[in-house]
Every structure is written in structure tokens, then in C-alpha cells.
Amino acid sequence: MSVPDYMQCAEDHQTVLVVVQPVGIVPEDQFFKIYKRIASVSQVTIRDSQRLLYIRYRHHYLPENNEWGDFQTHRKVVGLIAITTCSSAKDWPQTAERFHGQKEVYASTLYDSRLLVFGLSGEIAEQQRTDVAFYPSFEECSDVERRVEDFVESIFIVLESKRLDRATDKSGDKIPLLCVPFEKKDFVGLDTDSRHYKKRCQGRMRKHVGDLCLQAGMLQDALVHYHMAVELLRAVNDFLWLGAALEGLCSASVIFHYPGGTAGKTGGRKQSISQSVDAGKRHRPGALTANGISADTSTEIGRAKNCLSPEDIIEKYKEAISYYGKYKNAGVIELEACVKAVRVLAIQKRAREASDFLQNAVYINLGQLSEEEKIQRYSILSELYELISFHRKSAFFKRVAAMQCVAPTISEPGWRACYKLLLETLPGYSLTLDPKDFSKGTHQGWAAIQMRLLHELVYASRRMGNPALSVRHLSFLLQTMLDFLSDQEKKEVTQSLENYTSKCPGGMEVIALPDGLKLPPVPFTKLPIVRSVKLLNLPVGLRPHKVKGLLGQNMSTASPFIYSPIIMHNRGEERCKKIDFQWVQGDVCEVQLMVYNPMPYELRVENMGLLTSGVEFESLPAALSLPAESGLYPVTLVGVPRTAGSITINGYHTSVFGVTSDCLLEGLPNVKTSGSLVEVVPSLPRLQLTTSLPRSAHMTQPMSKEEICSTVSVQLFNGETQQMTITLENIGSEDIETLELASKIVSTKEKVFGEFLSWNLEEALTQLPLKSGQAVTVTVSIKVKLDFSGQENLLQDLNDDGISVTGLPISSPLRQVLKPRAETKAVSSESGKMEYSHVKTLEAVLNFKYSGGTGKVEGYYRELSLGVHVDIEPSVFFTRVSTLPATSTRQCHLLLDIFNPTEHELTVGAKNNQDLVLHASECQRMAIQVDKFDFENLPQPNQETVHFSNPKQLEEERQLAQGCQINSKLGIHWSIPSLRRRGEASVEGVLNQLVLEHLQLAPLQWDVLVNGKPCDCDVVADCKVGDAVTLEVKLTNLSKNSVGPLALTVVPYQDFQNGVQNYDLEDAVTFIGSNTFYIDAVKPKESSVCEGALLFLYTGDFYLNIKFQDDSAGRELPLSWFTLPSVHIRALDAPLQAGA
């Protein structure tokens, strides 16, 4: 016997073997249809007996295996069922003859046979025969199963008779010697009368009777006979049959302990209602102890004594197999015994011992096996190892079987069978074909073996003629085993992949195999490796802003609670959260990926783009080339959302080595992302800005906090004005419907006087809406006016002969006019020079707000910011400011010490004043006669502003307003002829409180009129000697309170211009009436006039000094309020009358 039956199990020893074969030409599908119906009758309850007969069916059985029927009766073909087709009566004799010929093959062992004839009708078919059944067709054969049961009962009758015949001990008869085929030639010439020979015959017959009892359903008798056979055969050292007896003993014990069978799910026995009483007791729940031995009824006592324990079963199997191993020709028997023992051990959960039996089975030599037999052997070994949970060992033999399918000795290698078997080995090596299983946790299994197996899958699929399958497996190898490949292997694998994909590009479709297995796609998430995904905000000038006061669309669904645990738990993963900026429909949006090339050579990634869901999105793919082992490398992927709404960035797609991959972020747990959901607002217009001034890359730290689109830079002298023309062009598709402009000084430590940036937007607004491609211009005036004050200690020598100008009594009659001095003095130290040559910086932002289109309807707008950077060089400095009283009480002289810090000749001028020329680093004084100022007329802050502002701030604002008024009156300007530059100079930051007081018009205004003419500013009033001179004193109250009553005394005197003043003028001047003037209380904003008269008796120049009486109420008010103009009267001789 050369072909083992690997599907055998211990309970097969109690079955009878029936062969079902076709005779003549029978359609294969019809044959197997009938065969399945026949095989369904696997156990039959014998009538008039409570015994079960088990049947084992085979449709193919080698006659040489039948020769071992005496050795183990379950190997003997005792029944034959032939299936044939016969369409006419004339074919019947030939069919009958074939049937008889088929019976002759197994004639030596057959108990009974049946012929099932399909397709024959008529007279022949109506004959009643026990061995032949006629059916009109394969469909009309309802009683096949009943006929098979009758056939099995006939077999049982023969079996029972043979058992009874052999079991009867006829001591007078000679017992025949049962032999296996290879023993027959060895027993020729033996002494048949020796005790040794007789014992051998008895032992073998006892074993044979045990087999028959087991088949006949008499388990107890079988155990007894097996024990007797073991003792007899052991005594004569008949090892081959002793092994068979031991195996029979094991099989009977297994049947007792494991009534459900040991063949697993496919070969398990069905429990029948009509089982024997003994079987019923054995199968009753709770009838078995932990050892599987019945401890219930008395009928079981003998069986329990003869039955082996589960542990003894394995020991006896080992012993039997060791005896089989002594015979070279019993290799098949030994191999099958190992398989049976393994199945028993699998049920006992004794995997380690089972592996020892299997290891023994591996080394059993069965002679020259065909390739098909080798494949079958290795496949069964694999299944048995799987049965005992030796998965890797199972996979090993499955792979050996796969390689055997394509052995060089096979003329037509079975690559499909090889591929199928290789797929079955994957679980044993902790390998699946789903790349998702390799993205979680540490790597499972041995990478070297896994890579070898994947290479074999690639080769097998290529030889099958399925390049798509090769590409998929090679992609899987590269993706999952990348960390374990050497540099050389990486190069070889990628070259192979490129060769395959040149014929069949790889994609993301699921590949379905004929057996139903589906291969999931393999995205290249490691080529390149992506470390982070970051959605980028739009450029500063393109970002949308929501109009304040308009509720967003999402506000209505927001919770009214500050904290809600439900909302917190429903937020989901970090990558799904919404980003706090928006994209705009129709504008290019960017996503930045930090990628890494793990390959030892340059990696070319083609067609890399974004995968999105939500709004319609046009991805603009990119191609990139990453250097070898590049480290983190930024890659920006772009696209254009075509509709408004919410968009989710799900991942990215690539094309590497001809394989297209869709890499989803949810499958990349190691990728950092700040979120992937962003809102797309409706389309907005786009504005492009160009200026007449040069652009500047300069941006200081404070300005960088402001989001500036671009910056212009200009250099100006302090006080200079520059015009900048800004051109705004609509480069988008939407019309610009609204435009606003605002400015803001973003960083300066310097105080700016006046408006730094000014413009007029009216003309530009008239051109709205601005169509696509149209432009509008706006002129912005840049005017820099910083503080012009300088250090006073540089020019102390310019004081007027040491006189403190600011300390002079206001009422002193200073008659000399101060002229500009020609004396100059250069700055004496370099440090001083540096002080005045320092360049200051002023920065501001022009902010354009514009909107239009559907975005405007939704309440969105855009901002375009232009940074203005101005470097300010000093033009002139006012190092000292003072005042001198003028001859008029309503005027004074403002003295300015002016310094030229530039390297050029500079001209300074003022309104109604002569220009002053200053050389580089030169200082000169300029005197400007100015009318005093009425600061009371300046606009006053309202009560609310006063209430919420601190006093210091209010005082600064008041001084600023006063300085602005003074500056506008002075109109100081400078020019540098060599550079053709000009500008203004401001005294706003120079004036101190004392100077402001001197420049302020007194709240009480006094006017003195002589003969109706005002006297002030060195005006000399002429009168005639002897004529009465009227004197009027007018008081105008500009203060907020009433003033008076007041008393004024007029004292005349003469000034001899040598320091001597003569007040003794009683003979020269006389008053008409009193020399004291009385003024009643004067209310605010009202005037009062008092009059008197004088009479000059002599010619000459007279002065009137108007004094206030000390006891008057006016002494409570400041002295400066009572400054009256000096009165100069020249008395002339009266002309002689004509004819006098």
C-alpha cells in the first residue's frame, strides 16, 4: 500500500468501506449529485437490533489498498455501488457486463453490490431485481437513500455472519494465518505445527475478530478481543500485528471516550436517535467522568476495565507506531496511525505531544511519491499543525506544498495552486494583506520571512499572468516592510515596481480574486512620510473679515451655556475640529505638508494633490523631487474651492513609482494636524495695490505685529510734505462695491504734530462699482512734523547781554526793536552734532477695506494694508524760545534761536519777516513780532470728555491747541536750495507755559483814546497848547467773571531820555475835572468807557502814566490784566490867527 489516506481518524475503524463508482459514461456533475445523496446515509440502525452500522464511502480506491483488508478490516471494500446510464434496452447487456467486470476488481472482499441505472425504461426496467435499481432519470430517483439503507443492511448480515463464524472457537479446526501482502513470501516453508505458529495464527485471528466486532457495533467484545490479541501477539513477537492490535484497542477506546468523533467539524459523527442503549448511556449528559469513562451502570464495568484511559490511548499509539516503524513496507500504516493520534491529542489539547507525532510523520519514508502526493502530504501536515494551533509550523508546510506545485520536475507548473496555497500561509506568519494592520503598534512576526513570502507572491502572480496582482503585492511589500529593507533592497524593489507599473499602473481599486478573497488597496503613506498637515490661512490681503454686529450662520446653533459636557464629548478628534480662519470661494488655498523621504535616493512624487469632501474643490496637483533622506521638507499643496460651505481635508493623493495612492489622514495616527475642517465663504473681489513710492522690505518689530501686505519707504526732512499716488486695480472676478480708507500710526516714540497721512477719497468713490480689470487712483499726502525743539545749553551766548528776556516786567516801555543778530557760533562738540543729526523713524499703516459680490451680501469684506515707513532727518531746531514785550500791549516779540543741523545751507522765513540764511551747523536768532492770541476762543472739550480724562491729559491737549493756533499765525518755513527741498517748521513742541502766557491776550483789554484817536504802538498824539484834550479809557471784559468797580489815576510826566523823569508838571498840565477815572462793574463780554480832559499850557512831549489806586478791588487780579498802553502827547503851539 503506497497511497495513505490522510483523512483517516480513529473512529474509521468501526466503519465498513463502500466504493461508489461510475460505469460507462456518466456526467460528472450528475454522478457527484447522486454520490452526495448516497454518502448522506453514513449510519444505519439495523432492524431487529439496536446496533448502528457506520459506512465510509469512497469514489476512488486503489485495489492494492484492498489487499490490506485482512490486516485492518476497515480497509476492505465490502460494498460496491455502481452508477450508470443506459438509454435503450439494447445497451443493457453491455452495461450489465461492465458492472460484472467492475465487481471482479473487488471480488475477493465484496459482501454485496448494487447497480443504479438511470435513463432506462420498459420491460427490462420493470424486472424486480435486488442488485439493480432502475430510474427514468437523475431527477426521478426519490428512493435512492432507502435502497442504500437496504443495501447496508444486507452488508450487515454478511458482516455479522462472518463475525460469528470467526468468533466461534473451533479447537478442532485449523486456524488460517492472516497475512499482509509483503509477508506471503516470507511464510513459505514455515512449520505450521509449531506452537509459535499456532499462537501467531490465534493472535492474528483474535485481532481480526476484534475488527469485525468493532464494525458490527459491539464495542465491548472488540475491546476483549483486542486485549487477548495483544497478549498472544506480544508473546510471539509478531510486532506488525501487535501494533495493529494496539491501534485497534486505541480506536475502540477513542470511540468510547469521544463519541462525537475526532475528525473535527467536517468529519464529526451525527448523533442518531436510534443509537444502541449502550451508546445512549455513553452519550447521556453527565454520564462520563473527567476521564471520559462511564461510571454508571453495571453493564459498563467490563468495558471500563478493558477500555484505555485517555493517557493510555496515547501511550499505546506510541507503542503501535514504534512497531510499525520496524517494517519498511508499513510506512503508510505508520503515517496514518500518527495522523489518528494527532487528531486525538488535538481534542485532548495536548499540542506538544501532538507535534512529536507529526514530526515523526514528516520523516516516514513512503518511497517514490508523485508530485501530487507530495503536495497532498504537505498540505495535510499543515492542516494538522493548524489543528493543534502551531500556526507558524502549519504555514511552513503549506508554503512547502506551494513550492511543490511549481517544482522543476513538473511539466506544467500550477502557479494558481501555488499562489492559493501561499495566500493561506499568510496568517501563520502574522501577515495580512491589509496595510491598515501594519499601521498600529509594533511590527508582528518575523520580517525576513514575511518579505520572502511577499516576494514569492509577487513572482507567483506574475507567472499567473496577473501583473495587477504583482503590483499590489510589491506595493504592499514596499509600504509595510520599508523599515526592514536594506538600501540595496529598497533600490531593487522600487526598480521592479517601476518595471511592473510601466505595463500595468497601480491604483486604489480593490482586487477581487476568483475564490472571493479581496485585496484592499495599498496607499504609499511612507513614500514620502508625512509628519504634519497644516491648513494655511490666506495671504493677509485676501483674508475675509466679518462685519462687526452681524451674527454668523453658526451662532444660532451655539449653546447658551458657557460649558456643556455634551458638546465637549461630541467634539471628536483633534483633526476634525474647525479652524478659526476662512477660505474664500474662487481663491487659491494652501495646505502645507511636512514630508520626509526615507529612501536612500531621490524620490520623485508625481501628481500630488489634496483629497477633500464637502464643497466642490478643484485640486491643483504638484510634482516634487525629494533628495535622499531629506529630513523634514515643506510641501505646499494648493486648490480652489468652487462653492461656498464647509470643506474637510481628508488627506492627499500621490503617484510614486507608477502607483497611485489615496492617503487618508484618519489612517495616519502619527500625523500632527491642527484641524482639517475649514469654512469657505462666498467669493469676494481682489484688489491689487501699486504706489508711486518705492517698495521697501524694511519692517520693524512693532510693524510686524500689524499684518502688512507691502511697505513703501521714503526719506523726508522734518516738516516736509510728500505726495504718494496709490493705484487700486480690481484683479478679481467680482465688482468692488464699497471702499474705505483709514490710517494708523503703529509705532513711534516721537510726538507727531498735525496729520501724518491725509487724503480725499471722494473722487475715487464716484467710480464705484469698480469692474474687473479697472483701476482707481488715490493721492495720499505724507506730512511729517515732529518736535523741532533742541537743547538750550548749546547756544547760551545768544542771550541779550545776559538779560533774562522772560523776566522783564511786561509794562516796561522798551522802545528798541530787536534786530536779528549776525553773531554765530558753531556747535563745539561732536556729541552735540550727533544729537542733532539723529534720523528718526515714523511708521504708519494705510488700511483699505473693500467688498463686493456674494461675499458682501453675507457680510464679509477684505482688508488691504500698506505700510508707510518714513525716515525723518532733522531740518531745523529751535534751541531756545523767549519773548520780549512790544511797544503795543497787544503785541510781543517771539525770539527763536534756530539751529541748522543739516550739511547744507538752509533758509528760514516766517510771515511778514525777512528770510534768515543758516549755514551748516550754524545757529542764529530770529525775532518775530506777533499779535497776542486770544486762547479763550479755542473750542472747549465737552463735560463728558472732561469727566473721563485726567487733568494732565486735558492740559496737554489745551497746550497743543494753543501751539497749533500760534504756529498757523507764525507760518515758519524752511528751504534747502541745493536740494530743492522745502517744508514747514513748527513751534508747537517748543513753547513752554511761561511763553504761552506772554503770548496770550490779557482778559481785560484797555483802549486809550486821545481826541478820539487810539494811542498805542508809539503813536504820538498831537494837540495844541491851550486846547482841551479829551481822554477816553475803555475797558472790555473778556474774562468769565465781572470786574470792578475800578479807580484809575492819570499822572503826566516828561521823560528827558537820560533816565530822568519829571513828574512836577502842575504848571504845565492841568486837568479839566478830576484826574481820577472811575469804572463801574463790567460784566463778562461787556465794555465800559470813562472820559476826562486835559489842558496843556506849554509845548513839549508829555507822557501819561495811568495807575490803579491801591485800594481798588482790582488788586485781586493778576498784574498783567492791568497793562494799559503808554500815552505820548506832543503839545504844539497854536498857529497865529490870520490878521492877528
C-alpha cell at 904: 547744507
- For residue 756, list its beta bridge partners: none
Flag whether pLDDT at 743 surpasses 80.
yes
How confident is the model at residue 809, as a pLDDT?
33
- When pLDDT is cut at 50, 70 and 90, the band that residue 877 belongs to is confident
Share of residues in the chain with pLDDT > 90 (%): 37
Taking the CA of residue 940 as centre, how many other CA atoms within 13 Å lie in the half-sphere pointing to its CB? Answer: 7
Nearest to 711 by CA among 679, 735, 746, 685: 746
Nearest to 976 by CA among 903, 926, 911: 903
Looking only at the bridges linking them, the beta strands covering 710-717 and 860-873 are parallel
C-alpha cell at 7: 483523512
Task: Give the span between the Cα atoms of 464 and 222, in whole angstroms.
Answer: 54
Peptide bond into 769 cis (omega under 30): yes
- pLDDT tens figures, 468-477: 999 999 999 9
Please check whether residue 528 is in contact with residue 603, taking contact to mean a CB–CB distance below 8 angstroms: yes
- When pLDDT is cut at 50, 70 and 90, the band that residue 224 belongs to is very high
Looking only at the bridges linking them, the beta strands covering 916-918 and 906-909 are antiparallel
How confident is the model at residue 1026, as a pLDDT?
78
How confident is the model at residue 1119, as a pLDDT?
66
Determine if residue 754 is left, alpha or beta; phi over 0 gives left, psi from -120 to 50 gives alpha, anything else beta.
left
Tell me the pLDDT of the chain averaged across its residues: 82
In order, the DSSP letters of 528-541 are: TEEEEEEEPPPPGG
For the four alpha carbons of 229, 234, 238 and 240, in that order, the dihedral sign comes to: positive
When comparing pLDDT for 282 and 575, which is higher?
575
Q: Residue 357 to residues 334, 338, 699: CA-CA distances in angstroms?
A: 10, 6, 84
- pLDDT tens figures, 655-698: 999 999 999 888 887 888 878 899 999 999 998 888 888 887 66
C-alpha cell at 150: 437496504
Query: Could you tell me the maximum CA-CA distance found in the chain, to the nearest angstrom?
Result: 218
When comparing pLDDT for 708 and 377, which is higher?
377
Please check whether residue 340 is in contact with residue 9, taking contact to mean a CB–CB distance below 8 angstroms: yes
How confident is the model at residue 269, as a pLDDT?
55
Please check whether residue 282 is in contact with residue 288, taking contact to mean a CB–CB distance below 8 angstroms: yes
How confident is the model at residue 837, as a pLDDT?
55
Nearest to 659 by CA among 473, 532, 519: 473
How confident is the model at residue 1133, as a pLDDT?
84
Flag whether pLDDT at 702 surpasses 80.
no
Flag whether pLDDT at 573 surpasses 50.
no
Flag whether pLDDT at 1028 surpasses 90.
no
Task: Give the span between the Cα atoms of 366 and 379, in whole angstroms.
Answer: 16
Taking the CA of residue 1030 as centre, how many other CA atoms within 13 Å lie in the half-sphere pointing to its CB? Answer: 10
Flag whether pLDDT at 1044 surpasses 80.
no
* Residue in the structure block whose three cell numbers are 474705505: 740
How many degrees, rounded to 5, is the angle at CA 113 between CA 112 and CA 116? 155
Please check whether residue 873 is in contact with residue 902, taking contact to mean a CB–CB distance below 8 angstroms: yes
How many degrees, rounded to 5, is the angle at CA 925 between CA 923 and CA 928? 145
Decide: helix, strand or coil at residue 517: coil
How confident is the model at residue 30, as a pLDDT?
93
For the four alpha carbons of 216, 219, 221 and 226, in that order, the dihedral sign comes to: positive
Flag whether pLDDT at 1004 surpasses 60.
yes
- When pLDDT is cut at 50, 70 and 90, the band that residue 699 belongs to is low
Please check whether residue 1056 is in contact with residue 1062, taking contact to mean a CB–CB distance below 8 angstroms: yes
Q: Residue 719 to residues 755, 823, 869, 876, 971: CA-CA distances in angstroms?
A: 11, 26, 16, 9, 12
- pLDDT tens figures, 20-57: 999 989 999 999 999 999 999 999 998 877 789 999 99
Flag whether pLDDT at 298 surpasses 80.
no
Q: Residue 39 to residues 21, 63, 111: CA-CA distances in angstroms?
A: 12, 21, 18
How many degrees, rounded to 5, is the angle at CA 375 between CA 372 and CA 376? 85
Flag whether pLDDT at 165 surpasses 80.
yes
Decide: helix, strand or coil at residue 90: helix
Flag whether pLDDT at 214 surpasses 90.
yes
Non-local (6+) Cβ contacts of 975 within 8 A are: 906, 907, 981, 982, 983
Task: Give the span between the Cα atoms of 612 and 677, in whole angstroms.
Answer: 10
Share of residues in the chain with pLDDT > 70 (%): 84
How confident is the model at residue 1062, as a pLDDT?
85
Nearest to 308 by CA among 226, 212, 215: 226
- pLDDT tens figures, 372-424: 888 999 999 999 999 999 999 999 999 999 999 999 888 888 999 999 999 99
Rounded mean pLDDT, 593-605: 91
- When pLDDT is cut at 50, 70 and 90, the band that residue 1079 belongs to is confident
Flag whether pLDDT at 810 surpasses 50.
no
Which alpha helices (H) appear in 56-143, and where do they start and end? 63-66, 92-105
Flag whether pLDDT at 834 surpasses 90.
no
Winning range, highest mean pLDDT, from 279-293, 586-600, 1107-1121: 586-600
Non-local (6+) Cβ contacts of 376 within 8 A are: 6
Flag whether pLDDT at 909 surpasses 80.
yes
Task: Give the span between the Cα atoms of 138 and 119, in whole angstroms.
Answer: 8
Rounded mean pLDDT, 273-285: 35
Winning range, highest mean pLDDT, from 192-201, 493-502, 1088-1097: 493-502
For 595-623, b where at least 16 C-beta lie within 10 A, e where not — what string?
Answer: bbbbbeeebebeebbbbbebbebebebbe
Task: Give the span between the Cα atoms of 771 and 775, in whole angstroms.
Answer: 8
What is the CA 1068 to chain-centroid distance, rounded? 108
